[in-house]
Amino acid sequence: MQALKLLFFEYNCIRRKITSGFLSKKHYVSKVKKVFVCNNCGANSPKWMGRCTSCGEWNTYEEEVIFRTPAAQDRPESWRDTDNPGGQAQPVSIADIQSGKTRRLSTPDPELNRVLGGGIVPGSLVLIGGQPGIGKSTLLLQVALDAGIKVLYVSGEESEEQIKMRADRISRSNPNCYILTETNTTRILTHAKKLDPGLVVIDSIQTLSSPYIESTPGSISQIRECAGELQRFAKETHIPVFIIGHITKDGALAGPKLLEHVVDTVLQFEGDQNYIYRILRTLKNRFGSTDEMGIYEMQAGGLRPVENPSELLLSQKEEALSGSAVAATMEGLRPMLIETQALVSRAVYGTPQRSATGFDLRRLGMLLAVLEKRCGFPLGQNDVFLNIAGGIRVDDPAIDLAIVAAMLSSFSDVAVPDNICFAAEIGLSGEVRAVNRIEQRIQEADRLGFNAIFISKYNTKGLDPKRFKLRIATIGKIEELVEALFQ
């Protein structure tokens, strides 16, 4: 009985609150919504937090004001068809969908076609990320001017004259390339719809602003909203859209991770600004492999695709010098021979220095520890500087053996003959391990006229040495390399 009374009392309290408006629907749906958004991962929270509970980053929460707007499907976006106002898709049986109908748009740039998996897919949304000044605008302007189709190049960063100057600089022109300096997404998409181009380029997503969102351009919610609008545009009109996105200092795409989920393909344009080589990598591709990569050379007149990277990355030197060794690496699906250089010298200051350009510093530490512990080289007392030619970053573990050879060569001051190359990974116990696609690596070394290649003895399965002109030296431990080259 007592419990029943209590229940009745509580019910009355709640009823009174609702009728007095305290819990009314109106109370909840206010027009302005404020949230705190993590600018690293895009997570949001109603309160400010010092550390993001989603990605663990510190001090990344920022307040954003978001106006409540109708659901995306119901917005009166003027570029949409009037007879299908919401642009709503109708359910279609999978049996009725024609496959293989999508014809890819092949660009005149072979490297871009390769990283996209064979050309641009109609209606796809492609994000190109890269640090400022790496050449993203140059690359896409080049595509826009060379494509031979009608292209709309939208720039929120540069004026029409600046873009024209750049076009003159790269000596290209295409009367079918239209430049639009606009940042409002609705106006951009209205123009795009009217112009009906074969390709839209947006430079850059961080400068766009959607009229439906109140926060400043470049903020998380703006980027998210603009990317969503572009995606709906691309999917409904089948016009491919390329978006340029800036990346932060630590290499992540500025903006929420969500942007990567929205787009179909994520390409990363990278390279050292002090060198001329630029690499276009595929980080995500819904229509192709992510193993592909393209190499460009930044010249005074624009970006030039590099077809034979090995020939450029091997430095031309007169005599064999100590401290350098050539690695047969794979960049994506392409074999590439790269020169690695090491300088090992006695430490002048107390703590020996380690520095690596184009190679993971922790992996260098591991290789040094292996050499010290397993092979007895006292490298712990030495400064070690490592450099990969051309300013290229290599993640392929097959470069390990060349790096070890370069370090040992510098340490013992004995040059590695310049007609030898290496392709193997080093394990923690000093063993020389097998790597993938060994045949392709050997073939490339053979083509470039090398006399011998050092590989792991566990890598010889199915390998026919008679097919190659060069000698295949197989080793199982680092000691065998020392015996063969430095004694």
Using the minimum distance from each CB to ligand TYD, give the nearer residue, 91 or 133.
133
In the complex with ligand TYD, the residue whose CB is nearer, 152 or 404, is 152
Q: Which of 138, 207, 222, 409 binds ligand TYD (CB under 6 A)?
A: 138
Q: What mask of x and - would describe binding to ligand TYD in positions 140 to 179, judged by CB under 6 A?
A: --------------------------x--xx---------
Please count the other Cβ atoms lying within 10 Å of the Cβ belonging to residue 9: 9
Q: Measured from the CB atom, is 137 or 282 closer to Mg ion?
A: 137
Establish if 206 lies at the interface with Mg ion (CB under 5 A).
Answer: no
Does 135 interact with ligand TYD (rule: CB under 6 A)? yes
CB of 114 to ligand TYD, least distance (A): 20
Q: What is the largest CA-CA distance in the chain?
A: 102
| Distance from C-alpha of 381 to C-alpha of 69, rounded to nearest angstrom | 64
Q: How many residues bind ligand TYD (CB under 6 A)?
A: 15
**What does the DSSP assignment read for 320-359?**
--TTEEEEEEEETTEEEEEEEEEEEEE-SSSSPPEEEESS
Type of residue at 16: R
Within positions 123 to 142, which residues make up the interface with Mg ion, using CB under 5 A?
137
Which of 460, 452, 462 shows the shortest CA–CA distance to 484?
452
**Among 271, 302, 332, 390, interactor with ligand TYD by CB under 6 A:** 302
CB of 166 to Mg ion, least distance (A): 9
Tell me the C-alpha distance between 23 and 12, whole Å.
Answer: 14
d(CA 341, CA 402): 9
Nearer to ligand TYD (CB atom), residue 201 or residue 435 = 201
Structure token pair of residue 91:
């359910």
d(CA 25, CA 414): 81
Least Cβ distance, residue 108 to ligand TYD (angstroms): 17
Q: Is 298 in the site for ligand TYD (CB under 6 A)?
A: yes
Find, among 194, 191, 197, 188, the residue nearest to 205 by Cα: 188
Residue 416 near residue 320 (C-beta atoms within 8 A): yes
Decide: 121 and 240 in contact? Cβ < 8 Å. Answer: yes
Whether the bond into 409 is cis, omega within 30 of 0: no
Backbone angles phi, psi at 149, to 5 degrees: -125, 175
Q: Which is nearer to Mg ion, 134 or 220 (CB)?
A: 134
- Chain positions 72 to 131 lying near ligand TYD, rule: CB under 6 A, are 130
Q: Which is nearer to ligand TYD, 170 or 415 (CB)?
A: 170
Q: Does 301 bind ligand TYD (CB under 6 A)?
A: yes
Instruction: Tell the smallest beta-carbon distance from residue 284 to ligand TYD (Å).
Output: 20
> Rounded to 10 degrees, what is the CA torsion of 234, 263, 66, 152?
-40
Cβ-based nearer residue to ligand TYD, 93 or 274: 274
Least Å distance, CB 380 to ligand TYD, is 41
Taking CB under 6 A as the binding criterion, the range among 132-140, 187-195, 330-338, 467-475 that sits at the site for ligand TYD is 132-140
Which is closer to ligand TYD, CB of 165 or CB of 361? Answer: 165
Which residues in this chain contact ligand TYD in the complex, by CB under 6 A?
130, 132-138, 166, 169-170, 298, 300-302
Which residues in this chain contact Mg ion in the complex, by CB under 5 A?
137
